[in-house]
Amino acid sequence: MIEQLAAGAALLVLLAAAWSDFRAFRIGNIWPLLLILLFAAYALTGGRIEQPWMHLAHFGVALAAGMLLFAMKWIGGGDAKLYAAIALWFPLSQGAWLLLATTLAGLVLAVVYLLTRRLVPREQRKDRRIPYGVAIAAGAVTAWFLAPGAVNRPIDVNELATGDFHFN
């Protein structure tokens, strides 16, 4: 039961981080930290984790790649930390699904931002940044629910479709 609450809470934390980034272009350190702590709670209370080192490897690879992208000023530091923290919830074998879903969500977000910028007069455009935390959250939720063989789902998609909804 506690592992189910940890997974559900992780979903809410991820959405709160996305909202924070959307609202203020800032992802506080508390959000990735909470995702990491919730993963630890999930793992320690009987969550389905077959190879913990593969989750840790995914976290390490994601953090290193994120810090490299941050150093090149392609993404923000909060984005890098948030992606690495959510990557911890996926084994390395599912890293491609998470990356693909996040990239596609980022593409959709960028197109929406480009199209809506056309509606705002040039003198009122204040910021060219895109809150990529929104794409990270959308990609993570998509991968969490739709990736083949995904584990650690806080909610079963099949139960959502039938209306028989409860936490796993």
pLDDT at residue 45, as a whole number: 87
pLDDT at residue 162, as a whole number: 53
> pTM for the whole thing?
0.84
pLDDT at residue 149, as a whole number: 54
Low-confidence ranges of the chain (pLDDT < 70): 123-125, 148-168
Q: What tokens were used for 44?
A: 């320690």
CB atoms within 10 A of CB 84: 22
Q: What tokens were used for 161?
A: 């479709």
Q: Residue 133: which of 88, 94, 77 has the closest Cα?
A: 77
pLDDT at residue 160, as a whole number: 45
